[in-house]
Structure 1
Amino acid sequence: MFKQYQAQCEQFISENMKTDLAHDLLHVKRVVKLATLIAEDEQAELNVVLPAAWLHDCVSYPKNHPLRSQSSLHAADKAIVFLRSLDYPQQYLLAIHHAISAHSVSGEIQATSLEAKIVQDADRLDALGAIGVARCIQVSSQLQRPLYSEVDPFSDVRSLDDQQFTLDHFYKKLLRLKDAMNTRLGRSIATQRGQFIENYLQQLATEI
């Protein structure tokens, strides 16, 4: 059923994404692809998962914005207004709102439905692996943060501070995501992608 709404959702998100380089239409399409794979594996309701995946970043404040933690909630509200304008079936709207609201780490809203857990997993998986490394560096470059601390690159002595150094974000957030996955397939993909990041960091250590 959702297929008839997909083109409109894609157009809407492409017009409404105004944030950092790592949160663009390509990111959305990757999340949709991952969410579809996991939803099919879990036999979840695609009429909830797919619109939530497409619209999850229709509001996304920059990393250093004071309203950053409210991005997902504001996105959920905006998405529902849009879906109502399309006469999207009413019975799915509450579940879609929750799935979008709960997808963000910074929002700290617990995902309670299977569909919300799937969208959350899909979004977090895009922060891991080769694409995760690239996206992290993209955002940090925009914020003009150096790659690492010259004195203590891997935070052996000092406390982690990903507001100051890009490398710290891998340890403070990204490598912890694989332990926060909700679904079987999400955990499997996260393990593989997490290993890639660990290999990257080991290689980086030999070069600096």
Structure 2
Amino acid sequence: MSAAFAPFAALAETLLPHAVEGDDGAHDIAHLLRVFHNAQKIASEEGGDAEVLAAAVLLHDCVSLPKNHPDRAHSSRLAADKAAGLLTTLGWDAAKVEAVAHAILTHSFSANLQPQTLEAKILQDADRLDSLGAIGIARTFYTAARMGSKLYHLGDPQGHARDLDDRAYAIDHFALKLLKLADGFQTASGRRLAADRHQRLSDFRDLFFDEL
């Protein structure tokens, strides 16, 4: 599998054993590979330190608490700390360790932190792309099933007269998070890639309610 992360196959071979926790299919090695490809596309236009970005992608979910965990918002900080310790043990330069840790710390939507470096901005965009489009739809309903959520509120599916709750109803996640993501992309390349995927989300939500 590490070969799929070329030209950083050797780095991937070292870091992948530490890269994911548990059995969450929305945050597995396949997710890391999709984010890596997204990051490569963005970086090909935006630039940045390729090695820092690759390490940040590989380790950005090395601690990933479930969506319904009370400490979910702290996942990225815990992952950043774990990544920094690992890279320091591997002999990485302190400045590069800090760059990787910052990118991981700020990538998360729930952490609500602003990325300050180009690599951090690219990681955030690359990760959020995987929450949009057809993959984003699949991940949403997969995660909802793991949490025991219903598809939608029977009496008020669109939330006209109730508070939206994406822990209880999968479709609520579209309005609460997914359809907001495209407005927060950090790079021009990321925004362009997000536009089509955002439209796919919007179209799916409209079709969903139309069928109801």
- Give the TM-score category using the shorter length: over 0.9
Letter in 2 for 1:67: D
Aligned partner of 1:131 in structure 2 is 135
Aligned partner of 2:114 in structure 1 is 110
Q: CA deviation at 1:37?
A: 1.2
Q: Is the partner of 2:171 in helix, strand or coil?
A: helix
Aligned partner of 1:185 in structure 2 is 189
Q: CA deviation at 1:19?
A: 5.5
Aligned partner of 2:14 in structure 1 is 8
Q: Any conservation in 1 of the 2:147–2:167 contact (CA below 8 Å)? A: no
2:65 is equivalent to residue 57 of structure 1: no
Letter in 1 for 2:17: Q
Instruction: Measure the CA separation in 2 of the matches of 1:19 and 1:63.
Output: 13
Q: Percent identity?
A: 41
Q: What are the ranges of 5 or more consecutive residues in structure 1 without an aligned counterpart? A: none
**TM score, norm. by length of structure 1:** 0.94
Instruction: Measure the CA separation in 1 of the matches of 2:39 and 2:142.
Output: 23
Offset from partner CA, 1:153-200 (integer Å, 9 cap, x none) = 111232222122111100110000000000111111111001001111
Q: Is the partner of 1:111 in helix, strand or coil?
A: coil
Instruction: Measure the CA separation in 1 of the matches of 2:90 and 2:166.
Output: 41
Q: Is the partner of 2:67 in helix, strand or coil?
A: coil
Instruction: Measure the CA separation in 2 of the matches of 1:2 and 1:145.
Output: 38
Offset from partner CA, 1:108-127 (integer Å, 9 cap, x none) = 22111111011011111100
Q: CA deviation at 1:130?
A: 0.2
RMSD: 1.5
Letter in 2 for 1:39: A
Q: What are the ranges of 5 or more consecutive residues in structure 2 without an aligned counterpart? A: 1-6
Letter in 2 for 1:20: D
**TM score, norm. by length of structure 2:** 0.92
Please, which of 94, 112, 136 is the counterpart of residue 90 of structure 1? 94
Please, which of 46, 49, 52 is the counterpart of residue 50 of structure 2? 46
Aligned partner of 2:168 in structure 1 is 164
